[in-house]
Amino acid sequence: MKTGHLDLKTGRTLIAGILNLTPDSFSDGGAWEREGVLKCVERMIAEGADMIDIGAESTRPGGDPVSREEELKRLIPALEEVRRHFDIYISVDTYKPEVAKAALEAGADMLNDISGLGYEDGKMAEVAAKYKAPVILMYNTHYPHADKEQDLMKHINAVLFDAAQKAIAAGVYEDDIIIDPGVGFAGSTENDLVILRNLEDICSWGWPVMLGTSRKSVIGNTLKLPVDQREEGTLVTTVLAAQAGINIVRVHDVQKSRRALDMLEAIG
């Protein structure tokens, strides 16, 4: 079985290309059906993706949940096909422990848990520990509008620290924990902007960090743009992330993101 490799200590911001196996993704639902899973992955690798993040349930706020059986039906055949054909690092975007277990057995390298171990009493941590899989822990607790930015940042820090400690207690290696501050899941556009203003602070908390802003509502609401016109705003946040020291950016348009990051690196 082929597998990928991910080095978070290169000093450069890595790109996770998004592969949504969902008909109702807020941004590109159905794209994989039009292009084909292998073609999608092949294209993203050619465009400069360092890893692929595969999801089979739309996890946007307000999205329709799917059953474990439906998620597995969408995910596992595609994951197995990608694993057979490509030496690329694969993370799987799921909060269900049973789906995570099946994904790791099918060849996934990493788990991307938007619940931050908040689903089913943290059983996801047990799965990650059993399979020695790195896990991305995302902040996903709605927080009322904060009068002071530090209130929100302290709250996010505390929630993610607690999730990380649960993972470690379950047997996940400390070096296998990545955090995601949860842009799009923090309760309001203003809270999302607070997170983006404090990326350097987040990078100082001691964990590698992944940031996912691609085409999200914070860009649409700020610029008053529909989802298919948010790429310029996404690129600004991608460059901002790299300047702050973010380890991974999760994006839809790999090519534009790679070009932006290469230009930033060339400038030094």
Token pair for residue 266? Answer: 């060339």
Give the DSSP H/E element, type plus range, for residue 213: none
Tokens 């807020």 map to which residue? 26
Residues 6+ apart with CB under 8 A from 87: 2, 3, 4
Token pair for residue 190? Answer: 């203003």
Helix (H, G, I), strand (E, B) or coil at 51: strand
User: Choosing from 96, 101, 250, 258, which is the catalytic residue?
Assistant: 250
User: Choosing from 83, 166, 216, 230, which is the catalytic residue?
Assistant: 216
Are 178 and 117 contacting, i.e. CB atoms less than 8 angstroms apart? no
Q: What's the angle, vertex CA 126, arms to CA 186 and CA 56, rounded to 5?
A: 55
Q: If we measure between CA atoms, which residue out of 231, 208, 202 comes closest to residue 219?
A: 231
Q: If we measure between CA atoms, which residue out of 251, 229, 173, 237 comes closest to residue 199?
A: 237
Residues 6+ apart with CB under 8 A from 256: 231, 235
Token pair for residue 7? Answer: 């080095």
Instruction: Please say if 250 is a catalytic residue.
Output: yes
Instruction: Please say if 216 is a catalytic residue.
Output: yes
Which residues are known catalytic residues?
Answer: 216, 250
